Amino acid sequence: MKSIINKTNNSATPFTKWVAALKKQNSFSTSIDYFVETANFPVLYFEYQDSKAWLSLKKSSNLVVEDFLCLRLPESGSVFDPIQLYKPKQIPIFHSHVQRLFGTQEYRCFPLIFNRRVVGVFAYLSDSVLVKDQLFVLNSYIKDFLWREKWERDGTMDDLTGCLNKKAFLKQLFIEISRARRLQLPLSLILLQLDQFETLESNYSSYKANIFIKSLVNNLIKDSRSYDLFGCWPTGQVGVILPHTSERGAGMKAEKIRWSVQSADFSKVFPSHTHLTLSLGLSEYPRASRSAESLFHSTLKALSFAGKECGGNMTAVATPPVGFKPDFSVQNTVNNLRDLT
């Protein structure tokens, strides 16, 4: 009996040692590298880059690959849906590249899934039980890293766009208004939403509708000042804080945003919606409010007026309540550079 027990323990030792070494890895990336580099069989790992819809490649040392090109997934101008990565061998461009790299089409795939989304794909030439166990443990282990990163990011960041979430955005709005009050300079807030957001979600999936929001925010950030602040939340609304900007400057920026969307052709992405439109609301501190909360709600009310009461595709400006007294008066001689948006 003693010899049988020892034999059993010895047979489990390689896997046990592998798991122990895996637990010493301190990040998602190094865990992947450890599996790929220690594999005694050909293995490829494709990490999915959501923002650009392509796969970046890592390979095992026993596999000779002449070109380390990233694999771009969209074909013929189409929008790639990440749900296809659940069955990567059915993606023609993926299958043809892996077949070429391995020299055979008899390979196996293991999608690495986190929070119901594929973050990467393993392709490998092995059918051993040990490899299956390693992949199962690896998948479970690196999820801890990804959840930790998500919890830290969710404290302030929006998953979709990478800008501030609603809670962090409102906190920053409070900070910026306090600074504007101290410097006695205006601050404007813009809230915007896509008029066809719910329709696009119903007809094309929430993924494609969110792709539009993400692309819109990225373009807004590129066309804005370094100290303008952006926020986004799951309802599809986007917020923009414009420090040192009067209602006039904010109105010019809002109309520029609205026209850029209205004049674009989206037929390749949304065949049934060649043209899309935005509704925007804006408000200025100190003209129409005295606090972050009142500024946000007055802007939200203006947005609702533009979108629901006026049918969308317009910019509405909040007006101060009757008898409202601002914290200070903004002089007409404000430096024009402060109004550049």
Residues 138 and 195 in one domain: no
Are residues 271 and 192 located together in one domain of the fold? Answer: yes
pTM (two decimals) = 0.57
Q: Which CATH number is 117's domain given?
A: 3.30.450.40
Query: pLDDT of 254-268, one tens digit each?
Result: 999 999 999 988 877
Q: Are 207 and 329 members of one domain? A: yes
Regarding whether 252 and 136 lie in a shared domain, the answer is: no
* Of 4-8, 22-26, 97-101, 143-147, the least confident: 4-8
Question: Which CATH number do you get for residue 282?
Answer: 3.30.70.270
What percentage of the chain reaches a pLDDT higher than 90?
A: 30
Does the pLDDT at position 93 exceed 80? yes
Calculate the CA dihedral of residues 157, 121, 92, 90 and round it to 10 degrees. Answer: -100
Say whether both 108 and 182 belong to one domain.
no
Strands (DSSP E) contained in the chain are 43-49, 54-59, 71-72, 108-114, 117-124, 187-194, 229-232, 238-243, 278-285, 314-317
In a domain, 160, yes or no: no
Q: Are residues 44 and 101 in the same domain?
A: yes
Tell whether 182 and 319 lie within a shared domain: yes
DSSP 335: -
Total number of domains constituting the chain = 2
Same-domain status, 288 and 194: yes
Residue 297 included in any domain: yes
User: Which domain, by its residues, includes 319?
Assistant: 166-339
Percent of the chain's residues with pLDDT above 70: 84
Would you state the pLDDT for residue 13?
Answer: 66
Residues 278 and 185 in one domain: yes
Q: What is the mean pLDDT of residues 40-61?
A: 75
- Residue 336 DSSP symbol: G
Last residue of a domain, which of 124, 154, 184?
154
pLDDT given at position 256: 95
Question: In this model, does residue 16 exceed pLDDT 90?
Answer: no
In a domain, 312, yes or no: yes
Which of the two residues, 54 and 68, has the higher pLDDT score? 54
State the Cα–Cα distance between residues 278 and 196, nearest whole angstrom: 8
pLDDT exceeds cutoff 80 at 85: yes
> Looking at the structure, do residues 174 and 130 belong to the same domain, yes or no?
no
- For residues 191 and 300, is the Cβ–Cβ distance under 8 A? yes
Q: Does residue 49 carry a pLDDT above 50? A: yes
Which pLDDT score is estimated for 151? 64
d(CA 161, CA 170): 17
282 within 8 A of 318, measured Cβ to Cβ: yes
Please tell me whether residues 197 and 319 are part of one structural domain: yes
Is residue 113 in a domain?
Answer: yes
pLDDT in tens, 182-241: 999 999 999 999 998 888 888 877 777 888 888 889 889 988 998 999 999 877 899 999
Is residue 256 in some structural domain? Answer: yes
Split at pLDDT 50, 70, 90, the class of 61 is: low
In a domain, 161, yes or no: no
pLDDT for residue 297 is more than 90: yes
